[in-house]
Chain A
Amino acid sequence: MTWLNAVIQGLLLGGQYALIACGLSLAFGVMRIVNLAHGDLAICGAYLGLVLSTALGVPVWVTLPLLLPAAFCAGLALQALLFGRALQHGALAPVLVTFGLSVMIENLLQVAATSDPRGLNGGTLALASFRIGSRITVSWLFMTAFLTACAVLSCLQLLLSRTAWGRKVRATADDVDTARLVGIRVRPLFATVAGIAVATAALAGVFIGTIGTFDPFAGANSLIFAFEAVVIGGIGSLWGTLVGGMALGVTQVVVGQVNEAYSVLAVHLLFLAVLAVRPAGLFTGHQTAREAPGALG
């Protein structure tokens, strides 16, 4: 029963990893940008949630209708002012720019909010739980995070596969020069993608802050897990990202059941093992590693 419990808790934890990873996966799959500030943007979302929920005196969930559009707009602005320009200067420039952004965000947050760990007011949901059988207790908060991750990934998948917007995004991911040539306006399209990526990061940040605590430097740790989920799942594959996140979560909790000290190490070893055996990730289908980044979906 303890093992089953560990697997269930691990899957739910994996949902959180997938939620933070899906924006990273989307941005890389479409724009070929590895956003090293993605984790920090998630933590910014948590701080924004803290400010809003404290100011309004409500649980952080109530502030989401304000927080998510704000994060979307921040993504639009970042793409227009920073990422879009960095992308014009080769592959290394976006890495340097987003690394610089990451350092700046962490230090600005420390100046503005000190490095005290904070938590978010999750309302009654934060403490509620339900039982499966007699021995397994599942937190409603974990369950909500997991279901939210599934919902966000499904919505993204539907947007990509069924809408004109998604068609343009996939075409641009395949071949940006030809996309321009057939009349797709790449800059506004990239801006919406960045907006969605940052909004999902902020949503993940809200869960990070509600489930545990966060400080200005918590983003780096989130980024590593998100990055590993993306790579294990297969770059550009959203469902792969969910599976990758769940693989990380299950590994972490199950190994933690044996010895807590090795749980995070085991996650990184799993990542290295997948990288060694299937460098293109688990969900790239029949495509070669070279083509895989273009295959969103």
Chain B
Amino acid sequence: MTPPALRAPLLEVTGLDVFYGDFQALFGVSMSVATGGATALVGANGAGKTTLLRTIAGAQAAASGSITYRDQDLTAAPPHQRIARGIALVPEGRRLFASLTVEENIQVGATAAASGDWPLDRIYGVFPMIAGRRGQRASTLSGGEQQAVAIARALAAAPSLLLLDEISLGLAPMVVEALYQTLAELRKAGTTLVIVEQDLRRAMTVCDDLVCLLEGRVALAAPVPAVTRDQVVAAYFGDLT
């Protein structure tokens, strides 16, 4: 595997400060995502993982700092422009459009698609489990199927950079396994991934790089082979010594 430094960065986040009203959620967060790589974003609840992904996707405004994607400054760009350039987010809690069918959810995902690389039949090829449910309302599906639709909806935007927020939350281990197999296929197809995952072991197995947030700050950022599980756990909870 090529060391991260030799791969060109796809996304470069620098000194990001993000607020919810008076509450500051991120403090000068910087991270770099290499093209074709998979980065695990870990940290305790409330560490700012979801905020960071939402800010990269454009759902949350940055008070200061910058987001550079393919050498373009996207800090102030609205979400539809980021999608058109190839950034798509699978939001925490899936957030499907409940009154729309499975297929309509996926079609809506293609609204601002970066390219036509992911037509419906290719998406159903990747997610055979939802192909048979395309006419069903999204709200009637099981949790695993809903998560698959949420990923499919993001894929419809033909992303180069796919941001995945807690896709295994509340799902059976077998379903999680199937979803991660799909992600491995997507990586092979050239999609760069940023994954928020509570299961540290899985995160470290799947990803090349790891970023650990602690109370809105980067506590650790390193290639996975360069860190031990104990170092990550220490960063996760804050060094207590």
Question: Which residues in A have some Cβ–Cβ distance to B below 8 Å?
Answer: 164, 167-168, 170-171, 173-175, 177-185, 291, 294-297
A184, chain B: closest CB distance, angstroms: 5
Known: A164-B107, A168-B108. A182 touches B153 (CB 8 A): yes
In the complex, chain A residues whose CB is within 8 Å of the CB of B59? 177, 180-181
In the complex, chain B residues whose CB is within 8 Å of the CB of A181? 54, 57-59, 79, 89, 91, 95
Report if B48 contacts A (CB, 8 A): no
Q: Report the Cα distance A296→B104, complex, angstroms.
A: 14
Interface string of B51-91 (1 = CB under 8 A from A): 00010011100000000000000000011100110000101
Q: Report the Cα distance A170→B107, complex, angstroms.
A: 12
In the complex, chain A residues whose CB is within 8 Å of the CB of B113? 183
Query: 14 extra interchain contacts, Cβ-Cβ under 8 A, other than A181-B59, A182-B111?
Result: A171-B97, A171-B104, A171-B105, A171-B108, A180-B78, A181-B54, A181-B58, A183-B83, A183-B111, A183-B113, A184-B108, A184-B111, A185-B80, A294-B98
B55, chain A: closest CB distance, angstroms: 12
Contact A167 B84 (CB under 8 A): no
A178, chain B: closest CB distance, angstroms: 4
Question: Which residues in B have some Cβ–Cβ distance to A below 8 Å?
Answer: 54, 57-59, 78-80, 83-84, 89, 91, 95, 97-100, 104-105, 107-109, 111-113, 153-154, 157
Most buried by B among A174, A175, A182, A294: A182
Q: Report the Cα distance A294→B99, complex, angstroms.
A: 7
In the complex, chain A residues whose CB is within 8 Å of the CB of B104? 167, 170-171
In the complex, chain B residues whose CB is within 8 Å of the CB of A295? 99
Contact B80 A184 (CB under 8 A): yes
Known: A182-B157, A183-B79, A184-B80. A174 touches B111 (CB 8 A): no
In-complex Cβ contact of A170 among B79, B91, B100, B157 (8 A): B100
In-complex Cβ contact of A167 among B83, B89, B95, B108 (8 A): B108
A214, chain B: closest CB distance, angstroms: 37
30 chain-A/chain-B pairs, Cβ below 8 angstroms: A168-B111, A170-B99, A171-B105, A173-B99, A174-B97, A175-B95, A175-B97, A177-B59, A177-B95, A178-B95, A180-B78, A181-B54, A181-B59, A181-B79, A181-B89, A182-B79, A182-B108, A182-B109, A182-B112, A183-B84, A183-B111, A183-B112, A183-B157, A184-B80, A184-B108, A184-B112, A185-B78, A185-B112, A291-B98, A294-B98
